[in-house]
Structure 1
Amino acid sequence: MRKIFLIIALFSAVIFNVPGQGLGGPGTIKDDGRFAASTKQLNQFFRRFNGEESVDGNIRFYPGDPLYRDAALRKGFLSILFDNQTSTVPAELKNQFIQNANSDVYPNYLVFHREGWYAQVEAEFMFKGKREKATLFMKIQPEGLGYEWVIDQVVFEPFKNLFNKPVGNKKDFLHPLSHELGFMNLRRAFQDSNAPESFTSNSYKPDYLAIFLYEMKQNNLRFVTVTGTKFHFFQIQGWYFEVNQFNRPGFNTGWLISNLVRLGPGDKETILKYIYDQE
């Protein structure tokens, strides 16, 4: 897998002039009805979320600049980083999120190289002569002097029913005195059974990514194309949000927050299981 380093700008900055915006005060955003807020790249989403670029996108702010992470600037940006056309996120929940992320006491920022965000990549592969869809979950990890994207997990439809471990009375087992027979009854697990996973420990979970890579190495699986990408964020304490790309007419386009959830105890784990299709 090709290494993607942060130092060579994985998300290369592309500067766009955005018409119809102005400064109403120091760092504030004036909406004159032509609020061209298209966030065309994900790295721009990071900068806008954190308040690290000018309203027109022409100036990048760094630590030491007066407007770097300015609260008023951030509030304006955060308000236009939502999908306001198709999303069902309540306005009150958005306001709570903005207030929490932009708190005067403990503001929360997104950090590219920190854990807590994942890419979900929809792709298509040829598997044993048939076109199949796969979902790859990617994360950033340190590598050398920079960072790289790596495949963390995979969801692949042909593998979903590969392991259906029986439970309860339906589950076959090896007698606890099998050792006295020199485990000769392993024949039941490896020859007589159609579900050899029945003889694994209660904590056993199949590694679908390993199987996926094995099939690829056996030339049974061939990459075709990527069909879509979205991102999951848990970096803002107490919140989860999803970012999707919207290509449509108007100004509410680009990379925008499409889903927002306030997290309670255990909610993060539940959402991760849902995202990773483990339920």
Structure 2
Amino acid sequence: MRLTALILLLITFHLSVGQDLTDDMKDTEEKLYASTKQINQFFRRFNGEEDEQGDRYYPDDKKYRDDGLRRKYLPNLFDRESGYVNESLARDFMKEVTDRKNPEFLDLHDQEMFAEVAAVFSYKGKETSALLYMRLQQQGQGYEWVIDDVAFDPFKRQFKKDTSESKRFMHPMSHELAFMTLRKALQNEKYPEQFTPRSYQPDYLTLFLYELKGGNLKFKTVKNVKFHFFSIDGWYFELSNFNRPGYNTGWLISNLVRLEGDQKKMMKDYIYDKN
């Protein structure tokens, strides 16, 4: 009797463990389906171009860019854990992009989308960070990523504008002196850029490439990547990658802003660190 009871107990235990493993595998599978693991997958889900299992839909498929499918997917494309996205604003955004009369879709090659890459460099022997702004440009029959701009604090400090009342200037009659006033303007001058037009903006990308070519700047690694979208008229959103437990993971909309008037330019200047 004791042997029989022991055998029944072992069978029950193994069945229980087996069921637990099955449940764990099912839970893991559902999480994999829920997670937006790749950028291209985010685009497909935003546009309604794949099913719940991640299988692609193509233009000839009946469910391709289906309104119902998009309304189902879109709420899962937002970061719901950090609290940076306003829920009411997100609902307005989703309603607008799924409007049956004028739906909005994303295109990876849209010039109103760009990537921001936080990278680590060694600059003159010291480790420092830089932001590289990347865009896709057409190359032959395809596309390639290019560095469109850069934000680098050592350059920014070098070209800090002198806004004080003591700003120096070159005398308007300097031409009568064969511009010999350049000696006073450029020798031992801390802010030579004050003798340039008010519209002057330093070209940090050229400086960046110059320092790379000269060996003063050396790439080490990438710390983080995010994407900025101005593709939907009247809106801006940021896409970030979240690696955490649960279903709300992968590439998700981490910031959403409604844009009016000149706010689009202001937002771009802020992102590119032009303020």
TM (norm. structure 2) is 0.87
Number of the residue aligned with 2:20: none
Counterpart-to-counterpart distance in 2, 1:206 and 1:81: 38
SS in 2 for 1:161: helix
Paired residue total: 249
Number of the residue aligned with 1:4: none
| 2:71 corresponds to which of 47, 72, 75 | 75
Number of the residue aligned with 1:94: 90
SS in 2 for 1:75: helix
Counterpart-to-counterpart distance in 1, 2:86 and 2:187: 57
Deviation at 1:192, TM superposition (A): 4.1
Residue 116 of structure 2 corresponds to residue 107 of structure 1: no
Residue 114 of structure 2 corresponds to residue 118 of structure 1: yes
Residue 52 of structure 2 corresponds to residue 66 of structure 1: no
Number of the residue aligned with 2:43: 46
| 2:165 corresponds to which of 141, 159, 169 | 169
Q: CA RMSD for the aligned pairs? A: 1.7
SS in 2 for 1:176: coil
Larger Rg: 2
Change (3 A) 1:127 1:35: closer
Q: In structure 1, what residue type is equivalent to 2:191?
A: A
| 1:230 corresponds to which of 226, 241, 262 | 226
Partners of 2:150 and 2:205 within 8 A in 1: yes
| 1:184 corresponds to which of 143, 164, 180 | 180
Indicate the percent of aligned positions where both proteins have the same amino acid. Answer: 52
Deviation at 1:193, TM superposition (A): 2.0
| 2:207 corresponds to which of 178, 196, 211 | 211
SS in 2 for 1:126: strand
Partners of 2:115 and 2:135 within 8 A in 1: yes
Counterpart-to-counterpart distance in 2, 1:78 and 1:172: 56
Q: In structure 2, what residue type is equivalent to 1:249?
A: P
Number of the residue aligned with 1:24: none
Partners of 1:19 and 1:36 within 8 A in 2: no
Counterpart-to-counterpart distance in 2, 1:36 and 1:229: 22
Q: Tell me, which stretches of 5 or more residues in structure 1 are unaligned?
A: 1-17, 21-32
Deviation at 1:165, TM superposition (A): 2.7
Q: In structure 2, what residue type is equivalent to 1:53?
A: E
Q: After the TM superposition, which parts of structure 1 deviate over 6 Å for at least 4 consecutive aligned residues?
A: none
Q: In structure 2, what residue type is equivalent to 1:39?
A: T
Number of the residue aligned with 1:244: 240
Residue 262 of structure 2 corresponds to residue 259 of structure 1: no
Partners of 2:33 and 2:52 within 8 A in 1: no
Counterpart-to-counterpart distance in 1, 2:223 and 2:160: 29
Partners of 2:33 and 2:53 within 8 A in 1: no
Counterpart-to-counterpart distance in 2, 1:239 and 1:69: 21
Deviation at 1:76, TM superposition (A): 0.7
Q: Tell me, which stretches of 5 or more residues in structure 2 are unaligned?
A: 1-24
Number of the residue aligned with 2:81: 85
More helix by share: 2
Q: In structure 2, what residue type is equivalent to 1:160?
A: K
| 1:143 corresponds to which of 139, 146, 151 | 139
Deviation at 1:175, TM superposition (A): 0.8
Counterpart-to-counterpart distance in 1, 2:190 and 2:238: 40
Counterpart-to-counterpart distance in 1, 2:164 and 2:122: 37
